[in-house]
């Protein structure tokens, strides 16, 4: 059954931010230690940026739109995803763009942990 968010997820896959594109390059095709990631996947009422289903890990890349007004929404979203058994990691766009090695280390530590 097609999720009602699937068309929006497809649109997001076609219009990734620079940071999302850069991180996807590192995660796609099992490039990160053989872990399989998917991008822009509906989970409940939300669309997550990246997910490794095998390890129940979600990686979110947040830009300027995730400022103070988004805090409550992001907390509710994270609470829901964690209630579904996922661990959620969040990075700012600038972290991904300027410190990819550091971002990947945090992701691998979580996956290997």
Domain ranges of the chain: 6-112
> pTM of the predicted model, to two decimals?
0.91
**Residue range 6-112, CATH number:** 3.40.960.10
Helices 100-112 + 18-27 axis angle, to 10: 50
Q: Alpha-carbon torsion 21, 87, 67, 76, what sign? A: positive
Q: How many CB atoms lie within 10 A of CB 49?
A: 24
* Percentage with pLDDT > 70 across the chain: 93
Contacts of 91 (CB under 8 A, 6+ apart): 19, 23, 59, 60, 61, 62, 103, 106
Confidence class of residue 8 from pLDDT cuts 50, 70 and 90? Answer: confident
Confidence class of residue 113 from pLDDT cuts 50, 70 and 90? Answer: confident
Task: Output the pLDDT for position 7.
Answer: 85
């Amino acid at each position: 059954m097609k999720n009602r968010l699937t068309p929006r997820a497809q649109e997001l896959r076609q219009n990734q931010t620079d940071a999302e594109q850069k991180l996807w390059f590192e995660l796609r095709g099992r490039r990160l230690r053989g872990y399989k990631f998917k991008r822009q996947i509906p989970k409940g009422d939300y669309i997550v940026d990246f997910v490794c289903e095998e390890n129940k890990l979600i990686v979110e890349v947040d830009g300027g739109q995730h400022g103070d007004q988004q805090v409550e929404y992001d907390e509710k979203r994270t609470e829901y995803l964690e209630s579904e058994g996922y661990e959620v990691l969040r990075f700012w766009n600038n972290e991904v763009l300027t410190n990819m090695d550091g971002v990947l280390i945090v992701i691998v530590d979580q996956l290997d942990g």
